[in-house]
Structure formats: structure tokens, C-alpha cells
Amino acid sequence: MIQEPIANLLDAMGAEALPCIHNEPLDRHTTFRIGGPACVFCKPRTVVELARTLELCHSFGVRTYLLGNGSNTLFADEGYDGAVICLTDLKTRSTAQTLPDGKTRLTAGAGTLLVSVCNRALELGLTGLEFAFGIPGTVGGAVYMNAGAYGGEMKDVLSKVTFLDENLKLQTLPVKELALGYRTSIFEQRNWCILEAEFVLEPGNREEIQAHMQDFMARRREKQPLDMPSAGSTFKRPAGCFAGQLIEQCGLRGFSVGGAAVSCKHCGFVVNTGGATCADVVELTDKIREIVKEKTGHVLEREIRVVR
């Protein structure tokens, strides 16, 4: 556990106190509504505050977890014995620059909700991000896992990403050096903190862009259990098929452990029916994996991140 003196240092770094809460319940900060308390929960407002927080934690051996909107995260019931650093209040630049070829370079901070970036692109009449409308994460989280939907992925529109490296030095890499693959990126293997992303988008027709966004959102409402707490798609898509279809074929619609259940609306989602614990979700997903492997031969891999 974090020693009290270190927590106090996090409380008062520099002239202005860093927004910091002790023993903050993490179920308040994830879309699954599951998780015990974080020893320290910080919301830095500037890159300087963020870097100083990370530096202090590193120097005292305090482990850290970078959090966005919490849409793909499952925290342990015991909580997190370190500092959870939430980036949603981080103030970074947001710019739009027209390029000589007519395309537009759109920059957004890591803590910005992806839906906000999609709406900004719509305002500017820019196409390319429609697929991401409705993904309930932040820009940083979407880059981290190369989020995608309806045939599009972040790698299709990203041009470069700026981040703090393991030595807290500011770095920028082009998309070709980010090892973006299916639900993965270089950031999964490195202790780097994404600060902002740059997208290059094509000019388009606003009415058509809006129609595509509304169509994708309507599909989500129709097919996904958006009315129940979840972490989105529970499993990655196996080669040549869909996880939800395999789970349904195995007769697991509605299958449950404690308060966690396979959604009756979409078998690719595990939902919190009320009072679900991390242990419930982990046990349920383990059982699903065992049954699907036994009956179909396919090995499912969890897409949600379990943080213990």
C-alpha cells in the first residue's frame, strides 16, 4: 500500500494542489461499475502535473495505472494498491489544420472522449471517423488498443501520436512506428503515456457524414446492451468468426456467475446485472472460454483489461 507521506506529497505538489482523492471507489470510474478503491486517485490538469505525478510515483516505487473513460477496464474487487491517474481532465491542445492536399490534420488530447472528436470532425465536414461514433472511450484508450468498429480502425485515420516515454521525455512517433494491429499497439508493451493523437481526415459531405454516424449509433442501440453496465466487447474476434456467435452457438446466452451474465441481447457482451464483482466476471469469462474451446476448438481471448 502507498505510505501516507507519499500520498501527502501527491496531495500538494507545487504551488497548487493536484486534484487527488484517497481510497476512491473505482466502480465510479468504469463503465462496468465494478472495482474496489484506489489508494490514490489523481486527475492531473496539465502535462506538467502529469509528469510530476508520474515522476514522484516512480521515484517512490508506487505503481501507477493510466485511466481514461474506463470503458475497457475491470478493476479487482480489492482495489488498486497504487495511484490511478485519470486523464480526462488533462488539458492539451485541440487543433485543426488544412493541408495542401485538401485533407485536414485534426489533433485531440488523450483524455478527450472519442465521441467529441467525431462530432468535431462532423462540424468541420471531415470524413473518416464515423466508425468511431458511439465507442465509449477516450482518444488515448482508442489509440492504446487500436479501437475499431464497422470495418474501421484507428490506424486508418491516425498519422502520429505524442506521448511521455518511460523517462518522462516528450516523444512523437508516426503511425507506421506504433505497431497498430487488431486491438493492440506498441503502447501495450511500453511504459508510455499517450498525450495526444493526430488524425488526417478527408473533406466530405456533412449530411452524409451525419447519416453514417446516426446509422452506426442506431445499430449499436439495436444490437448492443447499452442499457446495462459492461466493458464493451468482452472477447477479441477469433480468426474467421465472431466471439458472440461462438458463445451463442454454445448455448451460453444469459449464462451467469453471480451478478455477471452473458447479455441476452448480444452474446459478445458480459454485463453487470447488479452487484457483479470482478471475481464474478473473471470466473464467468473463464468458463465461457473453456466451453467454447471444448465445443468449437476456438480459443477466446479477453479484450477487457483485468487490473489487479
Q: Which pLDDT score is estimated for 6?
A: 56
Helix (H) or strand (E) holding 258: none
Residue 203 corresponds to which cell in the numbers above?
A: 473533406
Q: Look-up: residue for cell 517512490?
A: 60
290 phi, psi to nearest 5 deg: -60, -45
Residues with Cβ within 8 Å of 188's Cβ and at least 6 positions away in sequence, in order, are 144, 145
Task: Name the 3-class secondary structure at 266.
Answer: coil
Architecture per CATH, domain 95-212, reads as 2-Layer Sandwich (3.30)
Q: For residues 7 and 40, is the Cβ–Cβ distance under 8 A?
A: yes
pLDDT number for residue 15 = 41
CATH 3.30.43.10 boundaries in the chain: 4-86
Cell of 38: 484506489
Q: Which fold has domain 225-307?
A: 3.90.78
Q: Which residue among the candidates 233, 237, 263, 302 is catalytic per the annotation?
A: 233
Number of H helices, E strands in the chain: 7, 18
Q: Which among 240, 217, 292, 230 has a CA at the least distance from the CA of 260?
A: 230
What local confidence, expressed as pLDDT, does residue 13 receive? 54
Question: Residue 177 contacts by C-beta under 8 Å, 6 or more apart in sequence?
Answer: 186
CA atoms within 13 A on the CB side of 127: 12
Please pick, among 120, 256, 303, 305, the residue that the annotation labels catalytic. Answer: 303
Question: What is the structure's pLDDT at 92?
Answer: 82
CB-count burial class (<10 Å; 0-12, 13-18, 19+) for 105: middle
What lies within 8 Å, CB to CB, of 24 at 6+ separation is 37, 38, 40, 41, 84
The verdict on whether 63 is a catalytic residue reads no
What is the DSSP code string of 178-203? S--BTTB-GGGTS--EEEEEEEEEEE
Q: Which of 33, 183, 289, 302 is catalytic?
A: 183
Structure confidence by residue, pLDDT tens digits, 105-154: 999 999 999 999 999 999 999 999 999 999 999 999 999 999 999 999 99
Residue 279's pLDDT is 98
Residue 183 a catalytic site member: yes
51 HSE (CA, 13 A, CB side): 12
Predicted confidence pLDDT, tens digits, the chain (308 residues): 455 555 666 655 544 556 788 899 999 999 999 999 999 999 999 999 999 999 988 888 889 999 999 999 999 999 999 999 999 999 887 899 999 999 999 999 999 999 999 999 999 999 999 999 999 999 999 999 999 999 999 999 999 999 999 999 999 999 999 999 999 999 999 999 999 999 999 999 999 999 999 999 999 999 999 999 999 999 999 988 999 999 999 999 999 999 999 999 999 999 999 999 999 999 999 999 999 999 999 999 999 999 99
Alpha carbons 147 and 128: distance in angstroms, whole number: 14
Every domain range in the chain assigned CATH 3.90.78.10: 225-307
Contact 230, 269 (CB under 8 A): yes
Q: Is 24 annotated as catalytic?
A: no
Q: Indicate yes or no: pTM above 0.85.
A: yes
Torsion angle defined by CA atoms of residues 159, 165, 170 and 173, in that order, rounded to the nearest 10 degrees: -20
Please, what is the angle between helix 114-123 and helix 206-223, to 10°? 150
CATH fold of 4-86, please?
A: 3.30.43
